[in-house]
Structure 1
Amino acid sequence: MLNEQRKENDRLLLSLMPAPVVQRYREGVQTVAQEHQDVAVIFADMVGLDDMSDDLSGDELVAVVNELFRQFDSAAEALGVERIRTFHNGYLASCGATTPRLDNIHRSVDFAIEIQRIIDRFNSRSRHKLRLRVGVNTGKVISGLVGRASLAYDMWGAAVSLAYQMHSGSPQPGIYVTSQVYEAMRDIWKFVPAGTISVGGSEQQIWRLVERQ
């Protein structure tokens, strides 16, 4: 009985945070936080869920969101990307934090493309039409556990803020990247300029992914 309860607790914890963070939490570390260099961050937002709520019951809408996020999780696991958290109609993930990777930008762009395909497949067999906006950035981040009664694993830093700002400020659906990501991936994928965003008082160019080179 105790073993079954431990397995269930482990399953729940692993659904909330990466395995290395679970280990530190089990060890009784009071403040679980870590700074990471050169981490790729992916912020994705599903546009159109609120419109779907007019046609679906609450149970049906939650079932759709759960299934899409389950597919996002499977894609993340296959590509070595880690889900950080979900929120309303959004999904925050990273690559290279708990497991440093030299190709974290490549994996993150591949992940963004795969979740776009997941949305496309959903649309093809549904009368509803969701759209996806994704921001991909790279840089220094801080990750950690917050809360006591209700644990949450989250990530902060300029790289996270910029990824969020890119995707939330883009009026059209698509995959948007910063110049750092563009320079790393320009020989593999085709990008087009997508305007600028204001960062620290200066304008920074962003790019939208179009197709494979």
Structure 2
Amino acid sequence: MQVNRHSFPRDSIQWTIARLQASLVRLINRRTILLLSILLLTGIAGTLWSTFQLSSNLIQSQALQNAELYAQAINEARTLYSSKAVDRVKTVAGVTITDNYTQQAHAIPIPATYLIELGETLSQQNPGMSVRLFSNYPFAKRKQQGGPRDEFEREALHFLEQNPKQMYVRVEPYQGRLALRFAQADIMKPSCVSCHNTHPDSPKRDWKVGDVRGALEITRPLDSFMAKTNTGLGGIFAALATLSLLALVGVGLVISRLRQTSKELELRVIERTAELRRTNQKLAEEQEKSERLLLNILPPPIAQKLKDGETNIADGFASVTILFADLVNFTELSEQVSPTELVALLNEIFSRFDRLTERYGLEKIKTIGDAYMVVGGLPVPRADHAQAIADFALDMQREIQQFNREYRQECSIRIGINTGPVVAGVIGTRKFIYDLWGDAVNMASRMEAHGIANAIQVSQATYEQLKDQYTFEPRGLITVKGKGSISAYLLTGRKQSY
């Protein structure tokens, strides 16, 4: 692969990536042996793993099949004994069928006892193998031997009671050896129901046909199966091990020649990666700065619309609350301090107001000189916009008082509030601003302009929104340009109940 260096500026990310790609392709073309060796080792490892898994599956499959055959044979023997022996003996006078048959003359065991003793005999003749019949309802004489002994048997009984036609199988250590444990349900048959419900020692007297009496468990150690299977697989493993050794020797010879080249390539990749990371970090930092700047100018939903490519952004809001605030004697203050001190004091005051804006979830619209404008209820509508503005205005007064104490000033603030519909949007393409229009905005401005220093004057519309939760002093009628005489109120605080 050839890369035209003149098609990429040397200081560009694309040119760096292209050079790295070209170097990697040339290295791959020259090191075919290494790739073949890796593929060979991968294939051998996969074969070894697959063979191991296959042998493991075969061992478990053989053990499970063996256990199923034992279980089938035992159940057939029990059925045969019950139908051919027990049923015929019932008609013979003087012969008793009992679980305690060894203590009585002319007695034979019941089918369950026959099955238990058959399992014990099989277990003795097959070292490591275990055949057990157990139940949650063992006879009192067999309570210790006939009940579940460990977690497997308890879980097996619970599972088989819910799923009597299925089997419960698990491979786990048993008596120090890895073993397959197989259990199937012991179903209550018609010939057994009467006996179990009438026997004087029976722990349960309401058995029905089809109930799960208990479980037949067959445990087979897997080491004997593993020995037989591993014998057949030994030759395959030996051949694969020899092939792996030869492959590793060949790969080692090739790798010794590639080591130096690999180190140089690794260093180049590290250097280029570091350069790319630094470039990406700078880009991310610049993008973050732009994002912060945009969010300082516009509300997040409006900023997102601009980023999405919308050009005409204007929305109507049926009800919002607008606040205008003005520092009353700031002009006199400007004559007493230097311009730098004046700007610092104004910045301190407006920064305090900005923090209140964030606290109450309001939208700061703009500042003009020593005037501050904020609105509640947009760009995301909210039902409590009037209350939020009222709390904000009361806290503005407290902030001014705190400012005067800290800076030994005598600033006062005049606040005007109005509630009504507005249109909000972005105007301009350079130094754009998010602004409001509407008669409600003009009325809020008039409330501030005709207000009283250190007081919060609200219109009739705002008063109607807040009169149940806040305290007011009626100011009476005031004359407003373009509106004539209107009622105004002075917000003084919150009601105690609120």
Which residue pairs with 2:383 in the alignment? 102
1:159 paired to 2:404 = no
1:89 paired to 2:370 = yes
The structure whose RCO (Cα within 8 Å, separation 6+) is larger is: 1
Which residue pairs with 1:188 in the alignment? 469
Opposite residue 206 of structure 1, the aligned amino acid is A
Contact persistence 1:166–1:197 (CA under 8 A): no
Opposite residue 43 of structure 1, the aligned amino acid is F
Please list the CA deviations of residues 39-69 of structure 1 after superposition, one character each: whole Å capped at 9, or x if unmatched: 1111111112211112221111111111211
Find the residue that maps to 1:125 and give its secondary structure: helix
Higher mean alpha-carbon deviation, 108-117 vs 194-203, is at 194-203
Find the residue that maps to 1:68 and give its secondary structure: helix
What is the rounded CA distance, in whole Å, between the counterparts of 1:89 and 1:41 in structure 2? 17
Opposite residue 307 of structure 2, the aligned amino acid is R
What is the rounded CA distance, in whole Å, between the counterparts of 1:15 and 1:116 in structure 2? 25
Which residue pairs with 1:77 in the alignment? 358
Contact persistence 2:446–2:480 (CA under 8 A): no
Match 1:169 to one of 422, 428, 450: 450
Give percent identity, aligned residues only: 34
**Structure 1 segment 118-129 matched on structure 2, within 5 A:** 118-129=399-410
Structure of larger gyration radius: 2
Contact persistence 1:176–1:208 (CA under 8 A): yes
What is the rounded CA distance, in whole Å, between the counterparts of 2:315 and 2:296 in structure 1? 19
1:198 paired to 2:480 = yes
Which residue pairs with 1:209 in the alignment? 491
What is the rounded CA distance, in whole Å, between the counterparts of 2:398 and 2:439 in structure 1? 28
Shift of 1:203: 2.4
What is the rounded CA distance, in whole Å, between the counterparts of 2:298 and 2:366 in structure 1? 8
Contact persistence 2:328–2:453 (CA under 8 A): no
Find the residue that maps to 2:409 and give its secondary structure: coil
What is the rounded CA distance, in whole Å, between the counterparts of 1:118 and 1:28 in structure 2? 40
Shift of 1:200: 4.7
Match 2:323 to one of 42, 51, 56: 42
Shift of 1:212: 3.2
Higher mean alpha-carbon deviation, 30-39 vs 189-198, is at 189-198
Please list the CA deviations of residues 141-166 of structure 1 after superposition, one character each: whole Å capped at 9, or x if unmatched: 11111222211221111111100011
Find the residue that maps to 2:407 and give its secondary structure: coil
Find the residue that maps to 2:414 and give its secondary structure: strand
| Pair 1:137–1:46, CA change in 2 (3 A) | same
Contact persistence 2:324–2:373 (CA under 8 A): yes
Shift of 1:178: 0.9
| Pair 1:151–1:201, CA change in 2 (3 A) | closer
Please list the CA deviations of residues 76-115 of structure 1 after superposition, one character each: whole Å capped at 9, or x if unmatched: 1111111011111111111111121111111110011111
Give 5+ residue unaligned stretches, structure 1. Answer: none
The structure with the greater share of residues assigned to strand is 1
What is the rounded CA distance, in whole Å, between the counterparts of 1:21 and 1:200 in structure 2? 33
Shift of 1:197: 3.6
Shift of 1:199: 6.5
Opposite residue 342 of structure 2, the aligned amino acid is L
| Pair 1:45–1:141, CA change in 2 (3 A) | same
Contact persistence 1:41–1:94 (CA under 8 A): yes
Which residue pairs with 1:62 in the alignment? 343
Opposite residue 137 of structure 1, the aligned amino acid is N
Shift of 1:173: 3.2
What is the rounded CA distance, in whole Å, between the counterparts of 2:493 and 2:382 in structure 1? 24
Please list the CA deviations of residues 147-194 of structure 1 after superposition, one character each: whole Å capped at 9, or x if unmatched: 222112211111111000110122433101111211222232221122
What is the rounded CA distance, in whole Å, between the counterparts of 1:56 and 1:25 in structure 2? 41
| Pair 1:31–1:130, CA change in 2 (3 A) | same
* Count of residue pairs the alignment pairs up: 213
